[in-house]
Amino acid sequence: MVLIFLLTEDVPVVYKEGQMKKKRGNKYLENYINGEMIGPESDTYIDNYNPATGAVYSFIPDSDKKDVAIAVKAADKAFNSWSQTPVDKRCRIMLRIADLIEQNLENLALAESIDNGKPLSLAKSIDIPRASANFRFFATGIMHFASESHIMENSAINYTNRKPLGVVGCISPWNLPLYLFTWKIAPAIATGNCVVAKPSEITPMTADLLSGICIEAGLPPGVLNIVHGYGHKVGKAITEHPKVKGISFTGGTKTGQEIAQVTAGTFKKLSLEMGGKNPNIIFADCNFDEMMRTTLRSSFSNQGQICLCGPRIFIEKPIYEKFKKEFVERTKKLKVGDPLSPKSRQGAVVSKEHFEKILYYIDLAKKEGGKILCGGKKATVTASRCKNGWFIEPTIIEGLPPKCRTNQEEIFGPVATIMPFERESEVIRYANSTPYGLSATIWTEDISKAHRTAALIEAGIIWVNCWLVRDLRTPFGGVKNSGMGREGGWEALRFFTEPQNVCVKLQ
């Protein structure tokens, strides 16, 4: 274990021993390009906030298209050698990265919690273990990835070569920073591509730490390049660059549309994972206790900032009042507090802008006739260091129709609405009424009803009697405005490769 973490004034920094120098000091993050940590060409930086305190605690390179051009050049140069590197060697390097993430779990989780505002316990149990699992999963997956052959009786044999695309772009959001960043990078490099990646400028810290880990693990220079900065500068430059052959993006639907427009004329391969407004359908014959425990999580985990959260809760009429009473009681007990305290179940939301957006939607819900059953405002947090942080009370709203704006637009915060229903056909109509189609949860002990409902819901991912149970081999993604393409398992390895058919005449 050669990595060193420093935690000075809230700034976790990891570097290989002997490399602990930064031109501007530890508070300044750097780009990871061609195997080196370097500042942006512009030499300008963006403030990075700690959402729990509302204070600036570090600075991010304000990179632009010049930095992206340098990164693409490095990736392009590395491509020939990396794509020819035997899969077992690629696998070994990626497993080293997975090991190093695991060994540095505590510090990476601390960095994620400080940077994002999420409870440290969540970063420790979900975000960082999953980042390591992503590398491990695709490192070993590539060892078993095979292509097809098609034999034409006595005349010819076809086989399919799956070739890496070349240089690819990976762009990720702020809600699950290292988790989603590595979910894209791992399959891209496993298949022999070289990557130019951009984390969200709102949560760049663990991507910066990943750079140090990749250096330590011996990832050859140029295979992964991380360029920090704004979406409209760095993200746009990646999507526009003619040498970038594919883009894997996760983020909002509007940004996904912009990327689709920018790339339309260039025929880049695109995978877009976008927003959601997922239904949570609760039938009266469900296992009530199990449903209630899970519904608290599916409504408010990560302050409701998970694309798979189910903020539209439909409850069958016979259990509506019972559900409402218990859900409100238990939500009131969710402790909102300093993300670094083990007692906190809810941390801060990610930014001031997002904080204001959520409060705007709570206000809109009231204007639309919604009744706030609990929460509905800024949360007061006892820790004095958090007095200027962006905390919101978990909020439950009733009395709104399924088609109002509150129930149609993505809020992406600790806000859930509850609505009664009477018939299966009615709830399916409600569930499908938004432009989104990422996931849905169904609660019932009647297996036929579960299958029937699942088949009729317009969503890429359905959970029956559970939520966020993830098998990395399964196809992941949404329909309608929630997504284009699928991630996960072979789907990801196929996305990052181009099939070439070779037909050989037998005689």
Residues taking part in catalysis = 273, 307
**Phi, psi values for residue 263, rounded to 5°:** -90, -5
Q: Tell me how far, at minimum, the Cβ of 37 lies from ligand NDP, in Å.
A: 20
The rounded distance, in Å, linking the Cα atoms of 41 and 225 is 15
Question: In 10 A of CB 319, how many CB atoms?
Answer: 18
Q: Which amino acid is at 124?
A: K
Q: Tell me how far, at minimum, the Cβ of 161 lies from ligand NDP, in Å.
A: 30
Q: Out of 314, 320, 412, 421, which residue is the one contacting ligand NDP (CB under 6 A)?
A: 412
**Inter-CA distances, 482 with 257, 260, 274, 303, Å:** 11, 13, 5, 20
Q: Tell me how far, at minimum, the Cβ of 382 lies from ligand NDP, in Å.
A: 29
Q: Out of 198, 312, 480, 486, which residue is the one contacting ligand NDP (CB under 6 A)?
A: 198
Q: Out of 239, 294, 302, 344, which residue is the one contacting ligand NDP (CB under 6 A)?
A: 239
Nearer Cβ to ligand NDP, position 126 or 180?
180
Tell me the H-state helices in 344-468. 352-367, 405-408, 424-431, 447-456
Q: Out of 23, 24, 66, 232, which residue is the one contacting ligand NDP (CB under 6 A)?
A: 232
Q: How far apart are the first and last CA of the chain?
A: 58
Q: Which amino acid is at 296?
A: L
Cα diameter, the chain: 81
Q: Tell me how far, at minimum, the Cβ of 270 lies from ligand NDP, in Å.
A: 12
The yes or no reply on residue 117 touching ligand NDP (CB under 6 A) is no
x/- contact string, 174-193, with ligand NDP (CB under 6 A)? xx----x-------------
Q: Tell me how far, at minimum, the Cβ of 432 lies from ligand NDP, in Å.
A: 18
The yes or no reply on residue 64 touching ligand NDP (CB under 6 A) is no
**Phi, psi values for residue 440, rounded to 5°:** -150, 150
Of 196-204, 208-216, 331-339, 399-407, which part binds ligand NDP (CB under 6 A)?
Answer: 196-204
The yes or no reply on residue 250 touching ligand NDP (CB under 6 A) is yes
Residue 284 structure tokens? 């009266």
Q: Which of residues 454-483 bind ligand NDP (CB under 6 A)?
A: 478, 482-483
Nearer Cβ to ligand NDP, position 141 or 235?
235
The yes or no reply on residue 251 touching ligand NDP (CB under 6 A) is yes
CB-based contacts of 54, cutoff 8 Å, min separation 6: 352, 388, 389, 390
Of 90-98, 171-179, 341-349, 401-409, which part binds ligand NDP (CB under 6 A)?
Answer: 171-179
The rounded distance, in Å, linking the Cα atoms of 343 and 337 is 8
The rounded distance, in Å, linking the Cα atoms of 10 and 428 is 47
- Please state the three-class secondary structure of 66-121 as a single string: HHHHHHHHHHHHHHHHHHHCCHHHHHHHHHHHHHHHHHCHHHHHHHHHHHHCCCHH
Q: Tell me how far, at minimum, the Cβ of 488 lies from ligand NDP, in Å.
A: 10
The yes or no reply on residue 226 touching ligand NDP (CB under 6 A) is no
The rounded distance, in Å, linking the Cα atoms of 229 and 62 is 5
**Inter-CA distances, 347 with 276, 335, 336, 383, 445, Å:** 22, 9, 6, 12, 34
Q: Out of 173, 279, 311, 485, which residue is the one contacting ligand NDP (CB under 6 A)?
A: 173
**Interface residues with ligand NDP (CB under 6 A)?**
171-175, 180, 198, 200-202, 230-232, 235-236, 239, 250-252, 255, 258-259, 273-276, 307, 410, 412, 438, 478, 482-483
